[in-house]
Chains A and B, each alone.
Chain A
Amino acid sequence: MKEPQQLINRYKWYEIVGIYCGIFVFLSFVLSPFVEGFLVSLKPLSQLFSSPYRFIPENGSFAAYRTMWESVPGFGRYIFNSFFISSIVTAVVLAMVVPAAYAFARFEFKGRGTLLGAFLAVNMFSGAVLLIPLFRLMRSFGVLNTYFAMIVPGVAFLIPSAIWLLRTYIMRIPRELDEAAYVDGASHFYTLRRVILPIAMPGITVVAITTFIGSYAQQFIFALTFNAKSEYMPLPVGLYAYFGRQEVIWNELMAASFVGIAPAMIVIFFLQRYLVSGLTAGAVKQ
């Protein structure tokens, strides 16, 4: 007799067909813009602007991937900026979140629950609502039109979910470990550095990855509003400026988009297991 598990999961042929059809329809919706975008990047302009519409490119080529470097002069710079901003944001977030998450996970103090809730509430206010005072704040700091104008507000909105995620991870580390260190006369700081940090490394890595991705994906509104210098623009805003022109060279725009999202795609491919747990953690109250 087989395990019931296996028997439950045995599908009849029409069920399998139904499931694959469902998955096909679902994934078509999710992936069609990427497929279309990729095909557009292969089509020569003359074919792109011709009727009737053709889905599959005729004599498609990768020419746009070569010419885009000349048409979008700052392209390499935009990608660098995106990486640079995201790296700094991730480093700053980690520096503040690791101690905070440890405090939330291990110490009893008055107002802990309220404070944790307040951090979560920060997530509910997007930067867009606070744009006016943030603009004034950035102006009084004197950082408008610099990298900091994008880094400083970006960090604030990534802190809450990072704290939430790392706190959950640290809470799963057995308390006996810190208590043993404490009994041996180690200070709190020593316990954090020598006991918690090494064990929490996988959790910290997940937080770092999700923060980086979050920062890479959301570089738009602050960069659009607080920075006007094209040498500091991250990729989305750099391409947006190009997109806003009268004559959009669509195949090059799509080619540039694909090169721009390649890093994210590689991350998804290798780290997807961590990503799912990481990205949903902010949403799950535990």
Chain B
Amino acid sequence: MHARRSAVIFAWLLLAPALLYVLTIVAYPLVDTFILSFTDASLKKVTNWVGWENYDKIFNATFAEVITRTFVWTFFSVSIKMLIGTFGASMLNAAVPGRALFRVLTMPPWIVPMAIGIFMWGWMYNGQFGMISGLLQRAGVVDGPVAFLAQGSTAFWATVITDVWIGVPMVTLYMLAAMQSIPQDLYEAAWTDGAGRFYRFRRITLPLLVPAMITMSMLSLISTFNSFDIIWILTQGGPNGETTTMIIDTYRTAIGSKKYGEGAARAVMICIFLSIFCLCYFRVTSRLSAGEK
């Protein structure tokens, strides 16, 4: 009995540094965000308690628009990532010569500093001299140069595509790992029964991928919802706020305009959505792993 108690104490001692660190740098700021959202904190020395005032201020038509935009942006980004990633994974899963190399070539967008990948996209979207506008003109799709980042509608899609590009390697490699964990004898049995390749893909691979797809889309949903670097570097939320998502909006209010209180209220809204996603994620994954047993 005594040995067990000392083991528990030892375990907590081992955990203490990581736990205290995360409490200080993540949990405390989380609580502080809630407290700040009820104050008028700014660069001024004095901070007053203002109750719900910040929330009254932010609930207006513009903020509703920002929330809707964030959801639309996230929805398209995650869906396209999942589509391209699953497509890529099924191609890379084929036993053709060179596949080891192709897998390595999938990784760069994920591994290189995100900001640098985004600079490259910034050039490609350049209207006057960029590659996409240039190639489209050559192909005769458009008459004149298209400055993708200067118009609201194209800037929106441009940021989505760049976000997809950064997320695709993770989705691809994850789906590939899921495909490879499907027991080979299922395919062999189906093959013995004369099932064709496409039939096997549709009836074995796809159904067995569903849990992995759900897990990955939820993870991707959370990281996409949090996405900051891409939009900030490409458009800073412009033109006319048409690429302003909740994160960008919070950053502008808090860091740009130094309205900490109001920014914190916006951050609280993000936290509420994130907590909902997070709960769904834990729910779904625990149900999925319970189903496996």
Contacts and interface: CB of A to CB of B under 8 A. Distances in A.
Q: A and B, one complex?
A: yes
B173 interface: yes
B62 interface: no
Given A52-B138, A279-B110, A26 B88 contact: yes
Given A129-B271, A265-B112, 14 more contacts: A26-B88, A26-B92, A30-B108, A31-B105, A52-B134, A109-B12, A124-B277, A124-B278, A128-B247, A134-B29, A137-B29, A243-B119, A254-B120, A261-B112
Number of contact residues on B: which range applies? 35 or more
Prevailing SS type, chain B contact patch:
helix
Interface in A86-137: 95-97, 99-100, 102-104, 106-109, 115, 117, 119, 121-126, 128-137
Contact of A126 (B95, B111, B228, B264): B228
A37 B102 CA distance: 20
B81 to A, nearest CB: 11
Interface stretch (A58-66, A69-77, A199-207, A214-222): A214-222
A275 interface: yes
A137 B94 contact: no
Nearest to B105: A27
A236 interface: yes
B111 A217 contact: yes
Nearest to A217: B113
Interface in B1-34: 6-8, 10-12, 14-15, 17-19, 21-22, 24-26, 28-30, 32-33
26 contacts: A5-B184, A8-B188, A30-B168, A33-B109, A37-B119, A53-B134, A55-B131, A96-B18, A107-B7, A122-B26, A123-B222, A126-B223, A128-B228, A128-B251, A129-B247, A130-B29, A133-B30, A133-B36, A134-B29, A152-B25, A157-B26, A163-B18, A213-B111, A225-B255, A239-B115, A272-B107
Contacts of B10: 103, 107, 188-189
Interface stretch (B52-60, B70-78, B122-130, B152-160): B122-130
Contacts of A152: 25
B137 A52 contact: yes
Given A55-B131, A153-B25, A257-B120, A217 B92 contact: no
* Size bracket of the A interface: 35 or more
A54 B107 CA distance: 27
Nearest to B269: A129
Contacts of B192: 4
